[in-house]
Amino acid sequence: MDYLRIIGNQRLKGEVAISGAKNAALPLIAATILAKNEVKISNLPAVQDIKTLLKLLENLGASHSFRDNTATIDTSSLASTIATYDIVRTMRASILVLGPLLARFGHCEVSLPGGCAIGQRPIDLHLKALEQMGATISIKSGYVIAEAPQGLHGARIIFDKVTVTGTENILMAAALAKGETTIINAAKEPEVIQLCEELQKAGVEIEGIGQNEIRIVGTDREPLQFLDIHVIPDRIEAGTYLCAGAITQSSITLQNVNPHHLEAVLVKFQQMGYGLDTDETSITIHPASTITPISITTSEYPGFPTDMQAQFMALSLLAEGTSIIEERLFENRFMHVSELRRFGADIKLKGNIATIIGPTKLYGADVMATDLRASSALVLAGLAAQGQTNVHRIYHLDRGYEAIEKKLGALGAKIFRLRE
Ligand code: EPZ
């Protein structure tokens, strides 16, 4: 297995190009199941999760090409509607094929995603919503069996919790349903907004995009004609690279970003004393004269993203004082704490609240990645630590960060991908 070796305590400098957003690309790829035409999607990140979902579509009978961060996907020859365990277990976002397959074919079987390191992550809200739209749902041998032989019909869906992929699944199901669907308590992430916009451009009547109430008028199983799609920038990758600049007290510039998607994160950098220059497509971060401790509570967009929690915990290790981080979305998203302690971190956990005592002199260590964003926090700590760090099990990292060692290396980090 690959691991990353980092020689820390190096200043970074220069520019880094941010890739397309994995969490925008995944629902857009799933949405091609609704298409009558071949769909071209550009600015895709070359990361494992994208390859996994393309492989899933191929297993269902679709054809695709993927070159230079662009995929061309044709689902006209889709023959199977069974998303098998061997693929779904490697990526829970595979659940995003449930809504479109059911809407187009009237039946499908999708392996239950199972839990993951950061929590149970049930899909009960997805299933209840599809039942309201006329589906019969049963669970058998670890599979969701969904039937809607007469097709899906519109419904008034009220989500008990804001769910990103739940909103996306229902948006795609509603696009081909008969009649009008209203989603109340919808997710407002930029990735959800792009899905709405591409469905709208493909001919679906949608109102309330980016609001917590979205209204969709379905085409009654008439397939969609998609325009070419260009994936929005990855706001979490961008936040992670800003943390790389911050934790090494460097000035670096991010290109191909949308600062508006990162407002809650940029405010936190400023509160910690970092300087920021932004324009429409770039962000430059500058060192802080004193790194001020921070208080963070994760919440749904536009609040502080849970996917940036681990990275800011690593950064807060350097702050001159005590920082508090409350994780509200997932019940077990502190797996990085025990690994950060190996660098010398002083972190206390009580329920879903972490108290980080800074500043900490960080020393390089052997550490193990546990989930995608936790592993990026370990790389960040390694960049700041004195000496050598080895981050193991970086397949977690490769799921969501394109060529991280190349991008960090180009900024001056001493980072190498080695094989165990
Ligand atoms: C999406 O996951 C993202 N993944 C996650 O990013 C992100 O952390 C999460 O949203 C929150 O922002 C993708 O977009 C592919 P949720 P998702 O449904 O949709 C509970 C990454 O790092 N819930 O919004 O699975 C759930 O347990 C990943 O790229 C139910 O109870 O998250 C959680 O506590 C990690 N029942 C909360 O809602 C349901 O049916 C939010 O989950 C669905 C969700």
Shortest-distance Cα residue to atom 25 of ligand 1: 165
Tell me, yes or no, if 116 is annotated catalytic.
yes
- Closest Cα to atom 37, ligand 1: which residue? 329
Best of 19, 23, 110, 188 for a ligand 1 pocket test (most atoms within 8 Å of beta carbon) = 23
CA distance 81 to 95: 12
CA-atom Rg of the chain in angstroms: 21
DSSP one-letter code for 226: P
Give the containing element (helix H, strand E) for 368.
strand 366-368
Could you tell me the sign of the dihedral formed by the alpha carbons of 349, 345, 276, 23, in that order? Answer: negative
Give me ligand 1 centre to Cα 165, in Å. 7
| Distance from C-alpha of 400 to C-alpha of 134, rounded to nearest angstrom | 35
Q: What are phi and psi of 413, to 5 degrees?
A: -75, 145
Give, for all 420 residues of the chain, the pLDDT tens digit: 999 999 999 999 999 999 999 999 999 999 999 999 999 999 999 999 999 999 999 999 999 999 999 999 999 999 999 999 999 988 999 999 999 999 999 999 999 986 677 887 889 999 999 999 999 999 999 999 999 999 999 999 999 999 999 999 999 999 999 999 999 999 999 999 999 999 999 999 999 999 999 999 999 999 999 999 999 999 999 999 999 999 999 999 999 999 999 999 999 999 999 999 999 999 999 999 999 999 999 999 999 999 999 999 999 999 999 999 999 999 989 999 999 999 999 999 999 999 999 999 999 999 999 999 999 999 999 999 999 999 999 999 999 999 999 999 999 999 999 998
Which letter does DSSP use for residue 233 in this model? B
Return the pLDDT at 115: 65
378 vs 3: CA distance, rounded Å: 12
- The string of DSSP letters for 316-363 reads HTTSSSEEEEE--S-TT--HHHHHHHTTT-EEEEETTEEEEE-----B
Q: Is the CB of 336 under 6 A from ligand 1?
A: no
Give start and end residues of each alpha helix (H) in 67-201.
Answer: 85-88, 98-105, 124-132, 164-176, 190-201
How far is the centre of ligand 1, averaged over its atoms, from the C-alpha of 413 (Å)? 32
With a 6 Å cutoff on the Cβ, whether 298 touches ligand 1 is no
What stretches of 94-153 adopt beta strand conformation (E)? 107-111, 136-140, 143-147
Tokens read off for 266: 């940029």
The tokens describing 113, both together, are 């995603």
Shortest-distance Cα residue to atom 14 of ligand 1: 23
DSSP state of 280: T
Enumerate the H helices of 60-141 as residue ranges: 85-88, 98-105, 124-132
| Per-residue pLDDT at 120 | 78
Cα separation values, 116 from 206, 234, 332, 335, Å: 33, 22, 9, 11
Task: Decide if 297 contacts 324 (C-beta within 8 A).
Answer: no
Report which DSSP code applies to 227.
Answer: P
Query: For ligand 1, atom 27, which residue shows the shortest CA distance?
Result: 121
Q: How far apart, in Å, are the Cα atoms of 329 and each of 131, 226, 334, 410? A: 25, 33, 12, 34
| pLDDT value of position 218 | 98
Instruction: For ligand 1, atom 42, name the residue with the nearest CA.
Output: 163
Rounded Cα gap, residues 416 and 408, in angstroms = 10
At residue 420, the pLDDT reads 86
How far away, in angstroms, is 367 Cα from ligand 1 center? Answer: 26
* CB of 166 closer than 8 Å to CB of 129: yes
pLDDT of residue 29: 98
What is the distance in A from the centroid of ligand 1 to the CA of 163? 6
Residue 307 CB–ligand 1 contact under 6 Å: yes
Q: Is the CB of 373 under 6 A from ligand 1?
A: yes
Ligand 1 near 115 CB (within 6 A): no
Q: Which two tokens stand for residue 243?
A: 């943390």
Of the residues 157, 298, 329, which should be mutated to test ligand 1's pocket, given the most ligand atoms within 8 Å of the CB? 329
pLDDT for position 121? 82
* C-alpha to C-alpha distance for 407 and 378, rounded to whole angstroms: 16
Distance CA 347, CA 410 (A): 32
Indicate which residue's Cα is closest to atom 16 of ligand 1: 163
